[in-house]
Amino acid sequence: MRARGFLRTRVARRMLGLFLAGALLPLLLLAFLGYRHLARELGERAREQLRIESKSAGMILLDRLAGLAAALERLASRSGTPGYAVGLTAQSTAAVQAPRFQSVFREYGDGRLETLTGEEAPLPPIDSRMAAHLALGEVGLITASGSREPQVFLVLLADDGGHFWGLVDGSTAWGDAPDRRLAPQDYGVCLVTATGTAINCPETAARDATTAPDDGSIVTWGPRGSQYLAGHWTVFLGRGFAAPSWRIVLSLPERVVYAPLAALRYTLVIGLLLALAVVFALTHIALRRQTAPLEALEAATHRVAEGRFDEPVLVQSNDEFGTLARAFNSMSRDLGAQFEAQRALQQQLDQLNWETLTAFARTIDAVSPWTAGHSERVTIGALEIGRRLGLSDEDLELLHRGGLLHDIGKVGVPAGILDKPTRLEVAEYEQIKQHPSIGARILAPIGALQRALPLVLHHHELLDGSGYPAGLKGEEIPPLVRILTVADVFDALVSDRPYRAAWPVEQAIAHLRENAGTKFDAAAVEVLAAATATGWRPVASGAPTSRTSGGEPVPAPVAALPAALS
């Protein structure tokens, strides 16, 4: 079915597609390239910011550790003053934002340990390298394993050979509170010792960044769709605290890095949809004006294909479309005239064809005066059965041809046999049985009648296989042949023959019903019976009406009535 309404022609749809492609593809390409450039720029800026922030965080950490070291030194200098340890721990005041100690201890030279503030905690051992550093009056840093997180201690040598210890409060030195963070809010901060011990790591996998070879290197980690960018910086603790270096790792979710792209994507989509709508509307208006003549021409070609030549194309334009429409209208009128002439000629040929077939049928029937009009009456009966059974026009036409020609082979049977008033001899009956094959051979060279050959060859076949010439059974016999057989036998029974008088219609129908399903097609028999019950009779035009007997002859078996099946 042809499209209706909007953009009905393929040319219009193709042109619209080209317009849209020409307008939108550059926009899409520019949007894509711009999006890629912005994404790359955001990524580069994020990486540079990670380098800066990781270095800055390292400096802040060193500064806080230095502040704690200074506080521990002041503690040692005020040793013995009452309340000298107050203000060194986080518990003293929440308003002071400087890093604090969680606990402070005094270890005396004789091994005694005094907790100056905070809770008790096991102290780590001091190795020889650290002892040498402390002997210089410097503050040392030692990392020890804790119950939940690693513990970081600052230690200072006392005058009596003991030590002052401070357990660093990580929440104040590198905590996640806004006023304690080493980096801005969106960054994750992780401290990793030289032994790989993680301190304050919200994302354990961020420690993978410590495998990067150089300070400032940027790595990407995490599952696809939840990836992080991570930058790191080495915090050197050896000079000031005689401790192995730490690495500070800053991580940033890619969703934070590329958050501006989300708004840009929305804007791009809205812009592209708006551009699509505008381009579509403008091109549609222009194309409708240009393709309306094409739609009119297309509709006209369909009318011509349907055989309607009297409706011209109405195109009001002075361009090539107008010229084409006028040429099309002229061609349509010429074609209409030619088709009318051909139709008239075809009707004449069809009429001549049927008249020729009818003449053949009457020539065949004229071989014997007893069969005058037989072929036409059989054809009329077969067509009546076929119509009542709902056959197609094509099958009815084939049945018509086969009915008129079914007995053409009788031209090869001597008239003396056809008109013999007594019972046929076996040899004579065998000659009668040859007429279907003779008829098929006569018609075989005529290409237009090839499909009618089965009706001619097999119209004496019976369902039980007792027919001739091939002894076909049941479904082996074509449906149209079975219809023709019923019509043929019926006309033979109700017509006079030299060896018997015609049967009454009721008696012929009864005989057909008695053999329905065994010799004759049951459906065809019942349809014929219904037709005759309404008074229908197969009367051939121009042929003498078959005589009917007033008596009631006793019907002989079908096998014993060879001429009755002719």
Which CATH number is 366-565 given? 1.10.3210.10
Please spell the DSSP secondary structure of 481-502, one letter per residue: HHHHHHHHHHHHHTS-BTTBPP
**Burial level of 80, CB count in 10 A (0-12/13-18/19+)?**
exposed
Distance, in Å, from the CA atom of 500 to the CA atom of 378, rounded to the nearest integer, reads: 19
Question: Collapsing DSSP states into helix, strand and coil, what is residue 385?
Answer: helix
B/e letters for 46-56, b = 16+ CB within 10 Å, e = fewer, are: bbebbbebbbb
pLDDT score recorded for residue 315? 67
Alpha helices, DSSP H, located in 247-307:
254-257, 259-305
For residue 73, give every residue at least 6 positions away whose Cβ sits within 8 Å of its Cβ, in sequence order, or none: 139, 156
Q: Tell me where in the chain the CATH 1.10.3210.10 domain(s) lie.
A: 366-565
Residue 520 pairs in a beta bridge with: 516
Structure tokens at 260: 């501006």
pLDDT score recorded for residue 32? 82
- Asked if 113 contacts 106 with a C-beta cutoff of 8 angstroms, the reply is yes
Q: How many Cα neighbours within 13 Å face the side chain of 248?
A: 25
**Burial level of 36, CB count in 10 A (0-12/13-18/19+)?**
exposed
- Count helices and strands in the chain by DSSP H and E runs: 16, 10
Distance, in Å, from the CA atom of 373 to the CA atom of 57, rounded to the nearest integer, reads: 119
pLDDT score recorded for residue 474? 93
Distance, in Å, from the CA atom of 510 to the CA atom of 494, rounded to the nearest integer, reads: 12
pLDDT score recorded for residue 203? 53
pLDDT score recorded for residue 349? 57
Q: Tens of pLDDT along the chain (566 residues)? A: 344 455 666 766 777 777 767 777 887 888 788 888 888 898 888 888 888 999 999 999 999 999 999 999 998 887 766 556 655 665 444 445 678 999 999 999 888 999 999 888 899 999 999 999 999 999 999 998 877 778 999 999 998 889 999 999 988 898 888 888 888 888 888 888 888 788 877 655 455 555 555 555 666 766 666 778 888 889 999 989 999 999 888 888 888 888 888 778 778 788 778 877 887 777 777 666 666 676 677 677 777 777 777 777 776 667 666 777 777 777 777 777 777 776 768 666 556 666 666 676 666 666 666 677 888 899 999 999 999 999 999 999 999 989 988 888 888 888 788 778 888 888 888 988 999 999 899 889 888 889 999 999 999 999 999 999 999 999 999 999 999 999 999 999 998 888 888 999 999 999 999 999 999 999 999 999 999 999 998 876 544 433 333 333 333 333 333 333 44
Residue 230 pairs in a beta bridge with: 219, 251
Structure tokens at 32: 């894509």
Please spell the DSSP secondary structure of 50-68, one letter per residue: HHHHHHHHHHHHHHHHHHH
469 preceded by a cis bond (ω within 30 of 0)? yes
Question: Collapsing DSSP states into helix, strand and coil, what is residue 362?
Answer: helix
For residue 229, give every residue at least 6 positions away whose Cβ sits within 8 Å of its Cβ, in sequence order, or none: 43, 46, 47, 50, 218, 219, 220, 251, 252, 254, 257
For residue 129, give every residue at least 6 positions away whose Cβ sits within 8 Å of its Cβ, in sequence order, or none: 242
Residue type for position 209: A
Max Cα–Cα distance, the chain, nearest Å:
162
- Asked if 85 contacts 104 with a C-beta cutoff of 8 angstroms, the reply is yes
